[in-house]
Each structure stands twice: as structure tokens, then as C-alpha cells.
């Protein structure tokens, strides 16, 4: 949690007394005490002393999503197991058995009459007047039963932000719903605030911020100056400035005309996917959602779509001989000459606008690995190569060019070598560790090094040698490779941190050593031998004796992980003996899932979207379990885990049935299962890997 007085930032963590570093909600009482709802309970801070309350004290559940304070100073906490009221000495909890619509409470607001309004996840809205509970659902006029936010205007109208249905206004008798069709930026609304003029401000899932003055809708996005289009929180200060908390982009302040963004140390986003270093020693970082950050050693400069970048999700960076920077994004390729931006897309000849990798050959030709094949650009003409030409697979994740000018492409189906006329593909059958190849590097001897989902493979032109965790590699999922002047190889892994290999000895560096996050997606080495690591916790610079990093709390890894195309979800033990399945790098985001053991054969999946409770499927005698929202089984909150036979499991949702298949090879003592969408393609957004690690 960070405090900002206008000039100075002060950060408080568990080391200071905060219950947990994942903070969902904040409220301030009349005495100026701050109350923080966290994943690990509620913390009260009086300015000097921290006091934490948990289930042992009377709190309904330690994950607290919402806080409100009534006129009597009573605190109300929305949790995953009901609502808790605290009068300063006594705790009272209300659940579904008392009349609450649903036990997962995401939002609380209190009207002028002292009535409490609770937004629940799946049950709609509950109003509590102190004795009677009244619930409103879609049947009454509410846009959607998944309610993320509530605000009450001066006329007493209630405004509800929902998860997929837009915004509902309730004047006490009539319901009015606003959606994207009316001008709302996105139908998934995370936050609401109302300014002195009565304008409503809505923070949305991925559409930015919408302002509604009662008749006209105005939307603000990254192109206008917003840090990120995913907005989780809104507050309005005493002078009317709006403050927006975003996912990965930092905090944006808007005074009505000017946008100011505050981030960690100037880095655009803590999710760093790409790094390159120019001739002047400036470091360039491609981020997820924040654009590109340039660091000259003292000053940070960020470039986004507002300035000319094609898209703020940047996967790859390369720098040509003229010093021009080339950025591979989710929206095409952008070239930056220091003053002017030029973007190339499929309309110009690029194979696909989703660009994962870039390399530049001796002739100055640029090679782009995309989701639609490889594109070569000589400065005027585009040439595209696909599976039809000999490429192993059209999803290209990595590119390297050897001394002979041969191009090497890492794909989801092996490695392809292209000598300018002939294509040669290498797969597991030839000796490659795994067909999913995310990184390629070439050493001084011309040996090729491939980072795969099954370890690292070295290829000397005739012989393949594979290195795995059994040899000393930190993790078998390798995203990045770099080679230093001494010939040492550096490997960035999915969950294990960084491994250094000097040819005989392996050394691993993790968060314990100072690494910002154990998820390392990019590596670069500067002219003085400093290693730069792009992680999902920021950027770490390393050289012996010095570590510069953005700290993050990472708990111990228990035995189960879920790997997705979005990243890796790591399990960790929760305070109540529950298993927390979370993204290893963004505390408190929607990548966090809690597996809660309820007793017997009952298991619940708890996420920021709500609680999903298992139940046997009706009309079947199979060992199938429906992992579902407690209400409305037909909603997209429904997930079904099908036990098919001997360890095979299917994952079914409203998006379709996803059937598991072995990912290509058995590995003891691990067994990995690949969950493939029935309608999607392997390697697409619907790909999941369930990893059992005894």
C-alpha cells in the first residue's frame, strides 16, 4: 500500500504491520484511521500503530473485498463468506442464511437513511435497513447479478457497476440500464465515483474510463493519457481531481484537462516482456499494457499509443544500425527514429498484427515472428513465409540469425532453420527438448541454444544436448536466453527465476537473492556486463555485489501450478489452510484463485470474481464435478471439471469444452496435461497446462 502526499511516496507492507500485501479496499474513519481490506484480513492504521483483525477475531473471512463506514462509526466488511459489522468491540456477521443475496460481497454503499447496499457476485444486490433484507436481481431490472461497484448520488439514486451487463441506475422504483450501446466504454464495470457536479465516472474492465453527465457519455483511454484501460478503482479529491487505479499501468490523475501518471520508479508497467539496449547504453523496456519505457540511467521516458506506438502491449524490441527502434506489439510493428513513429500492419504486408519476435540481418532486413507466420521487410517490400512454405508452425515466438545468415525460428511445433531457399525443421523426434520454443540464442562457437517448455536444448549442428531441472536449471519452462562475454548462458524461466550456466556449473537467482519476480520474460546484457531482467514484478539489474530491483512478496510454491497463455499461476498456502492459486507476479489481480477445501469431497474455487462451489453434475453417475457459481449455472461463471478416465480431465465452460491431452511426452516425476479448447487452436488463448508436481 502506498501513501502519496503530493510530492513524497510512502509504502507500507507486511513488514510494517499490514495484514497482507494484496490490498482490495480502503476506507478512512472520522478519527483519520485508515482501514485496509486485504487478502489476509483487515488492518487498521492510526498513523503509527497497525492493528489487524482476522477470522479468529470475528471477521467472516480473511479476504476482504469492500469496506464502508456508517454514521455510527461501525465498519462493514464485504468478504467471500458474508458481511461483517464491527462496532469497535463486537463483530456481527451476516450471510445468506440471514437474507444476504450471496456470501461473496464485492461492494458496499450506505445511503442517507443508513440502509446498507451490498453488491454480490452472482446473487445480485441486497439492501439491509437494520432488520429487513431485500434483494434485487436481473428479474427485478438489475443489469447483471454480478455486482462489482455501488455509488449513491445526491438524489438517492443507486448506481451499480456489473460484471458484463453494464451499469444499472435505481431510483427506488425504476431501473435503467446503460451499456456500450449507450456510450459506456465497456460492459464490465469495476468502479464508480460521483463528482460534485453529479457526473458519474465508471472504471471498466478494458475500455478505460467513462464519464456520464446525465445525457452525454465521454470515454477516456490510454490514447488520451490514461495509464491503462483496465481501471479497478476511482477516487475524487477535494479539488475535484480524479484518481484512477489501473492494472499494471500505475495511477492516473486527471484534473479535467491534463493527465498525470504515477508508476513504480518511472517504469511504464511492472510486466516487462522485452528489453533492448541502444548504442548510447539506454535501456528500452517493452511492457504489457504500459507501452515502452526508455531509461538513460537516471531518467525514465515512456512512450504509448498516445505518442504513436502501435499498441501498448509490447512483446519484442530490436534496434537497427541507424539506431531506429523496432517494437513488436499486439497491434503491429512500430518503428521509432527518435522523433517520428511509423507503424506497419497487415494492411502494409505484415503477416499478422500480433508480433512476438524481431531480428535484423546483416543486410538490414527486418524479420518479424507473428501469429500468422514470418514476415521479412527490406525497407520497401514485405515477404511472408508460412507453414505452406516450410515453416514448422505459424505461431512464431523467437528468431535468431547465425553467422551464415541462416534464420532460426522458434514455434509451437519445433524449430525451423531457413538458409534463404531451404527450410529444415527440428522437433522432439530429432532431439529438441520440447516443441514449444520460446527463446533462441547463438554462442561464439555457433551452437544454438533453445529455451523450451521442456528445458534447454543445445545444438552444435549435429548433436543435441538437453538440460533440465535435473541438471540444475531453475525451471523447465524457459522464456529468455542471453549469453555474456565470458560465454556464460543466462536463462529466464517461468517460475524459477534466472539460471546461469558456465558450461559445467549451474547457479540460480530468485527473489530471495533480489530478483524482482521469479517470472522472467526478457534478458539483456549491457556494455559493462550488467544483466537486465524483465520480469512480472518490474526490472532487475544485476552485477556481482549489487542488485537493483522492485521488491515483491513471493510466497513458497506448493505442489500444483496452472500454466496459461496469459502467464503462470502459482499455488501458495493461504492463512486458513486453503491453497491459493495465483499469478506469480501481480498480487491481488484477477489472476488470483483460491482453492478452498470445504470438507469431505467439497472444494471451492475462490477468485476475485466470486466463489465457485463444486457440486455433482445432475443426471450422471460419472465422477464429474461442476465447479460453478452457486447461482445461475447457465452463466459464464460455470466451469465443469470432467473426470474422463485414468487421469484424463476435461475443463468445460460456456466458451466450449476443453479436452486434456498429454503435452507430448511423459516426464517423471511430473505429468503435464494440456487443456485444449475444442474450438481454439493449440497455443492460442484457450490453452492451459495442469502441472502435477508431487
- Residue-wise pLDDT tens digits, 18-36: 887 678 889 989 898 999 9
pLDDT over 70 percentage in the chain: 77
Cell of 164: 458484463
pLDDT (average), residues 660-680: 29
Can you name the residues that pair with 450 across neighbouring β-strands? Answer: 440, 457
In this predicted structure, the answer to whether residue 221 has a pLDDT above a threshold of 70 is: yes
**Could you tell me if 205 and 180 are in contact, meaning their C-beta atoms sit under 8 angstroms apart?**
no
Query: Which pLDDT value is given to residue 253?
Result: 85
Cell of 280: 548510447
Start-to-end Cα distance in the chain: 35
Q: Which of 368, 361, 366 is nearest to 403 (CA)?
A: 361
- What's the CATH superfamily of 321-327+353-548? YVTN repeat-like/Quinoprotein amine dehydrogenase (2.130.10.10)
**Could you tell me if 317 and 329 are in contact, meaning their C-beta atoms sit under 8 angstroms apart?**
no
Tell me where in the chain the CATH 2.130.10.10 domain(s) lie.
Answer: 321-327+353-548
The region of weakest confidence among 366-380, 452-466, 664-678 is 664-678
Query: Which pLDDT value is given to residue 326?
Result: 98
Query: Which pLDDT value is given to residue 664?
Result: 29
**Length of the chain in terms of residues written:** 694
- Residue-wise pLDDT tens digits, 147-205: 999 999 999 999 999 988 999 999 999 999 999 999 999 998 999 999 999 999 999 97
Query: Which pLDDT value is given to residue 451?
Result: 97
Under DSSP, the state recorded for 536 is B
Q: Residues 6 or more apart from 64 whose CB is under 8 A from it? A: 24, 25, 37, 38, 41, 42, 77, 78, 79
Query: Which pLDDT value is given to residue 265?
Result: 58
pTM of the shown model: 0.55
Q: What string of H, E and C letters represents the secondary structure of 618-686? A: CCCCCCCEEEEECCCCCCCCCEEEEEEECCEEEEEECCEEEEEEECCCCECCEEEEEEEECCCCCCCCC
Tell me where in the chain the CATH 2.40.10.500 domain(s) lie.
Answer: 179-258
Query: Which pLDDT value is given to residue 223?
Result: 78
- Residue-wise pLDDT tens digits, 344-381: 999 999 999 999 999 999 999 999 999 999 999 999 99
Residue 59 to residue 602: CA distance in whole angstroms: 23
pLDDT (average), residues 106-110: 96
Query: Which pLDDT value is given to residue 225?
Result: 83
In this predicted structure, the answer to whether residue 694 has a pLDDT above a threshold of 50 is: no
Residue 277 to residue 272: CA distance in whole angstroms: 14
Q: How confident is the model at residue 477 (pLDDT cuts 50, 70, 90)?
A: very high
pLDDT (average), residues 444-467: 97
Of residues 7 and 351, more confidently modeled: 351
Cell of 384: 511472408
Q: Is 258 left (phi over 0), alpha (psi -120 to 50) or beta?
A: beta
pLDDT (average), residues 207-227: 90
Of residues 342 and 676, more confidently modeled: 342
- Residue-wise pLDDT tens digits, 377-403: 999 999 999 999 999 999 999 999 999
- Residue-wise pLDDT tens digits, 10-19: 778 777 888 8
- What is 179-258's CATH number? 2.40.10.500
Q: How confident is the model at residue 570 (pLDDT cuts 50, 70, 90)?
A: very low
The chain-wide mean pLDDT, for the chain, equals: 79
Q: How confident is the model at residue 554 (pLDDT cuts 50, 70, 90)?
A: very low
Residue 572, burial from CB neighbour count under 10 angstroms (0-12, 13-18, 19+): middle
The CA distances from residue 183 to 6, 126, 170, 246, in Å, are 33, 27, 19, 21
User: What is the Cα 674 distance to its own chain's centre?
Assistant: 21
- Residue-wise pLDDT tens digits, 579-590: 333 332 222 333
Amino acid at each position: 500500500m502506498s501513501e502519496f502526499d503530493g510530492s513524497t511516496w510512502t509504502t507500507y507492507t507486511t513488514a510494517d504491520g499490514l495484514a497482507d500485501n494484496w490490498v482490495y479496499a480502503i476506507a478512512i474513519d472520522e478519527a483519520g484511521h485508515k482501514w485496509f481490506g486485504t487478502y489476509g484480513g483487515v488492518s487498521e492504521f492510526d498513523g503509527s500503530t497497525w492493528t489487524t483483525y482476522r477470522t479468529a477475531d470475528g471477521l467472516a473471512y480473511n479476504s476482504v473485498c469492500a469496506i464502508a463506514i456508517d454514521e455510527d462509526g461501525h465498519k462493514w466488511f464485504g468478504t467471500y463468506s458474508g458481511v461483517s459489522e464491527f462496532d469497535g468491540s463486537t463483530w456481527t456477521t451476516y450471510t445468506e442464511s440471514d437474507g444476504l443475496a450471496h456470501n461473496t460481497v464485492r461492494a458496499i454503499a450506505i445511503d442517507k437513511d443508513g440502509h446498507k447496499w451490498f453488491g454480490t457476485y452472482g446473487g445480485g444486490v441486497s439492501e439491509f435497513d437494520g432488520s429487513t433484507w431485500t434483494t434485487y436481481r436481473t428479474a427485478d431490472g438489475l443489469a447483471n447479478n454480478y455486482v462489482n461497484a455501488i455509488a449513491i448520488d445526491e438524489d438517492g439514486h443507486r448506481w451499480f457497476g456489473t460484471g458484463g451487463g453494464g451499469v444499472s441506475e435505481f431510483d427506488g422504483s425504476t431501473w435503467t440500464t446503460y451499456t456500450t450501446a449507450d456510450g459506456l466504454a465497456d460492459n464490465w464495470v469495476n468502479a464508480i465515483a460521483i463528482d460534485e457536479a453529479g457526473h458519474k465516472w465508471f472504471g471498466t474492465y478494458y475500455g478505460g474510463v467513462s464519464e456520464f453527465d446525465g445525457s452525454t457519455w465521454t470515454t477516456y483511454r490510454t490514447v488520451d493519457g490514461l495509464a491503462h484501460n483496465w481501471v479497478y478503482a476511482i477516487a475524487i479529491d477535494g479539488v475535484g481531481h480524479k484518481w484512477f487505479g489501473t492494472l499494471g499501468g500505475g495511477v492516473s490523475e486527471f484534473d479535467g484537462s491534463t493527465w498525470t501518471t504515477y508508476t513504480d520508479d518511472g517504469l511504464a508497467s511492472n510486466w516487462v516482456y522485452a528489453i533492448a539496449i541502444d548504442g548510447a547504453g539506454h535501456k528500452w523496456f517493452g511492457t504489457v499494457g504500459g507501452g515502452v519505457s526508455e531509461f538513460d540511467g537516471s531518467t525514465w521516458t515512456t512512450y504509448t499509443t498516445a505518442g504513436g506506438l502501435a499498441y501498448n502491449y509490447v512483446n519484442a524490441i530490436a534496434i537497427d544500425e541507424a539506431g531506429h527502434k523496432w517494437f513488436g506489439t499486439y497491434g503491429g510493428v512500430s518503428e521509432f527514429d527518435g522523433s517520428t513513429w511509423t507503424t506497419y500492419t497487415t494492411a502494409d504486408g505484415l503477416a499478422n498484427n500480433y508480433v512476438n519476435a524481431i531480428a535484423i540481418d546483416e543486410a538490414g532486413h527486418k524479420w518479424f515472428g507473428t501469429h500468422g507466420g514470418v514476415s521479412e521487410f527490406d525497407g520497401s517490400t514485405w515477404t511472408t513465409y508460412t507453414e505452406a512454405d516450410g515453416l514448422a508452425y505459424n505461431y512464431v515466438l523467437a528468431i535468431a540469425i547465425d553467422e551464415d545468415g541462416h534464420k532460426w525460428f522458434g514455434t509451437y511445433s519445433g524449430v525451423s532453420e531457413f538458409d534463404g531457399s531451404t527450410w529444415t525443421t527440428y522437433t522432439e523426434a530429432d532431439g529438441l527438448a520440447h516443441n514449444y520454443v520460446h527463446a533462441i540464442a547463438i554462442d561464439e562457437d555457433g551452437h544454438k541454444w533453445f529455451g523450451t517448455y521442456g528445458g534447454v536444448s543445445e545444438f552444435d549442428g549435429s548433436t543435441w544436448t538437453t538440460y533440465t531441472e535435473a541438471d540444475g536449471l531453475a525451471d523447465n519452462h524457459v522464456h529468455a536466453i542471453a549469453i555474456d562475454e565470458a560465454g556464460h548462458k543466462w536463462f529466464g524461466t517461468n517460475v524459477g527465476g534466472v539460471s546461469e550456466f558456465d558450461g559445467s556449473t549451474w547457479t540460480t537467482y530468485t527473489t530471495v537473492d533480489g530478483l524482482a519476480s521469479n517470472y522472467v520474460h526478457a534478458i539483456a546484457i549491457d556494455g559493462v556486463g550488467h544483466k537486465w531482467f524483465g520480469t512480472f514484478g518490474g526490472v532487475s539489474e544485476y552485477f556481482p555485489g549489487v542488485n537493483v530491483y522492485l521488491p515483491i512478496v513471493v510466497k513458497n510454491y506448493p505442489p500444483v501450478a496452472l500454466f496459461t497463455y496469459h502467464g503462470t499461476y502459482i499455488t501458495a498456502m493461504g492463512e486458513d489452510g486453503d491453497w491459493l492459486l495465483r499469478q506469480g507476479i501481480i498480487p491481488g489481480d484477477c489472476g488470483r484463485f483460491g482453492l478452498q477445501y470445504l470438507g469431505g469431497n467439497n472444494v471451492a474455487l475462490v477468485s476475485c470474481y466470486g466463489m465457485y462451489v463444486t457440486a455433482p453434475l445432475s443426471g450422471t453417475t460419472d465422477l464429474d464435478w461442476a465447479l460453478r457459481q452457486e447461482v445461475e449455472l447457465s452463466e459464464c461463471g460455470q466451469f465443469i471439471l470432467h473426470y474422463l478416465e485414468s487421469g484424463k480431465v476435461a475443463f468445460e465452460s460456456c466458451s466450449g469444452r476443453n479436452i486434456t491431452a498429454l503435452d507430448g511426452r511423459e516426464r517423471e516425476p511430473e505429468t503435464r496435461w494440456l487443456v485444449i479448447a475444442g474450438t481454439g487452436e493449440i497455443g492460442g488463448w484457450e490453452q492451459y497446462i495442469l502441472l502435477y508436481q508431487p
